[in-house]
Amino acid sequence: MRILLLGDIVGSPGRRAVARFLRDGGWDLVVANGENASGGIGITPGVADDLFSSGVRILTSGNHIWAHREILEYIGGPACRLLRPANMPPGNPGRGFAVLEVCGLSVMVLNLQGRVFIGDSDCPFRTADRILDSNPADVVLVDFHAEATSEKEALGRYLDGRVALFAGTHTHVQTADMRVLPKGTVYVTDLGMCGSTLGVIGVRYEEVRERFLTGRPSRLTVAEGLEAVCGIEVELDGAGKPVSQRMVNERV
């Protein structure tokens, strides 16, 4: 089984890059974080559907999932393949994990969100325990949308041996620490982003520069040009155990 996990898709440049990259195919499952896919913040139903049409099977998200009101009804659909963090407070629409069959194995995609420097949510450690204990699957993939590297590493180690792949998202900067943890989980602190490499984490450099120089809030728009795709590719054996992995960071 070949699995591709992609980092935060930022605006139309990120969507174009992903669509071009996926044309070659060859993956049995593609999961991508879509929480910045619409104009750099949030995601709309139309954009989600376009990404599914391009070859993404499951979309994860994070703290910007509710940026567009129309997503509230869309994500509440019983067959929706767009996830929101599972540890959001009760009462939110949608679901935080999905279980699907891939190559004859049951595969869970679990979306969680951090609590350090990012906003209020329930405990991701206890939420993961609850979901994993009550929903057995052959293979578990985790997208942990979090700011603090320490929180990502801590949860990754906490779930080591219980999940096949643990990948962080949110910072838009790919980390160089992909490794196999002691009990067999493939871990990376952040997948990076899919979008323009000419900006600052996907938005126009000039606008970010102005914010830093003046301290004034200003509108940020998505950067254009030199588009790249970032993520991780993992191959699993017939029992669902990782046998190889590589980082993806390619201009497309």
Distance (Å, rounded) from C-alpha 146 to C-alpha 116?
7
Task: Return the C-alpha torsion angle 86, 87, 92, 98, nearest 10.
Answer: 10
Q: Distance between alpha carbon 141 and the CA centroid of its chain, in Å?
A: 10
Distance (Å, rounded) from C-alpha 91 to C-alpha 240?
34
Verify whether residue 64 is a known catalytic residue: yes
Distance (Å, rounded) from C-alpha 220 to C-alpha 241?
42
- Compute CA distances 34 → 26, 48, 134, 180, 189, whole Å: 21, 8, 27, 26, 18
Which of 64, 145, 170, 172 is an active site residue? 64
- Cβ-contact 33, 62 below 8 angstroms: yes
Distance (Å, rounded) from C-alpha 63 to C-alpha 89?
12
| DSSP secondary structure, 154-184, as one string | HHHHHTBTTBSEEEEESS-S--S--EE-TTS
Give catalytic residue positions. 64
